[in-house]
Structure 1
Amino acid sequence: MATGYYQYQPSATLPVPVPGKQPQQQPFQPRHARNPSGYSQLSASPPERAESISTGGGLYSSASSNYAGSDYDSSTAGATSVDLLDYMNERLSQTYNPVPLDRNMVKQAQMSGELNAKNRELLALQAQARARLAKTRANFADGVRAAKETQKDLEWTQKKVSAMNRRAAERYPEQYRAAKARYPAPVDC
């Protein structure tokens, strides 16, 4: 078995074809607005921005302009640079729909307002119930006091009536018996 080393021989052609730089694509468009043939987008480069038009002067646009005239590769100087913030903002604005979020926020605000109103109504009803309870307790205490006074008055009156009956029975026994027979005392049940 022969042992030998494989020696690398560089060739003029690469074993795998490497594509060159391709032109940049246009900013994102919705699928229905795209051209159905995929090759038509690659045939032309995107429109270049005029020198008089300036962007918002953000961090990325000023940083990319600093590299354009210095040690940066001169082959890309002719191609238009894409402002990353504008591109992402445009993509986000096309994909993000704020209407459902706005509706949900409106519903949440309405429910919060309704809950707040019900909470205030509940607090007002609780205060009203406390006031009524205090008034009812005061009335009950007055009623208990009046019942005790009435009971004392009835006991005093009962003692006086019993004393008068005893004196009448002692002084006028025959008239008392006739009156008692004619008007009997009520029987307690």
Structure 2
Amino acid sequence: MAREGSDDIQALIAQVARLPGLGPRSARRVVLALIRRRATQMTQLAALMARVAETSRECVRCGNIAEAELCPICADPGRANGELCVVESVADLWAMERGRAFPGRYHVLGGTLSALDEVGPDDLGIPRLLDRIAEENVTEVILALNATVEGQTTAHYIAEALEGGSVAVTGLAHGVPIGGELDFLDDGTISAALRARRRL
């Protein structure tokens, strides 16, 4: 059987294949493309990866990825407007920021509650979130969690923990995406869109 490159190349392919969204075939294509452009892309990529590995850390307040103790969002006094958006992951935070529609601050849980995986409130730092809400005079908590069973379970748990307090708890609307066609939507999305209908 023919070998595909040296042991180092095989090890690199195996490491790349472990990245989300990439399998062995995609990893081989990525590694071959980098090797073909090793003088430009590969060297720059290696240097950037080493620098990010050295300088990146979690924001001590919200869990975002930052280069300082506080991320730029938490360090910005203009974002301290009483609105706190709770998300599952840093990827979700970045997706919200791409829309440039939310002017407040975030809190990254790092996952969702899951009895199957033995992930409880303490594993997600939910008690720390509740302390933060009290300390920062938060007036509204927006639960921007994924519309999965685990995401909704986590949202209900946090909402119940905040029930009876002075903090408004809201969630993102679910329904028909902009540019979406009804024929291509699943039943759950159509049902959520009907429940969230509004007067025109």
Q: TM-score range, shorter-chain basis?
A: under 0.3
TM-score, normalization by structure 2? 0.20
Bigger proportion of residues as strand = 2
Bigger proportion of residues as helix = 1
TM-score, normalization by structure 1? 0.21
Structure having the higher Rg: 1
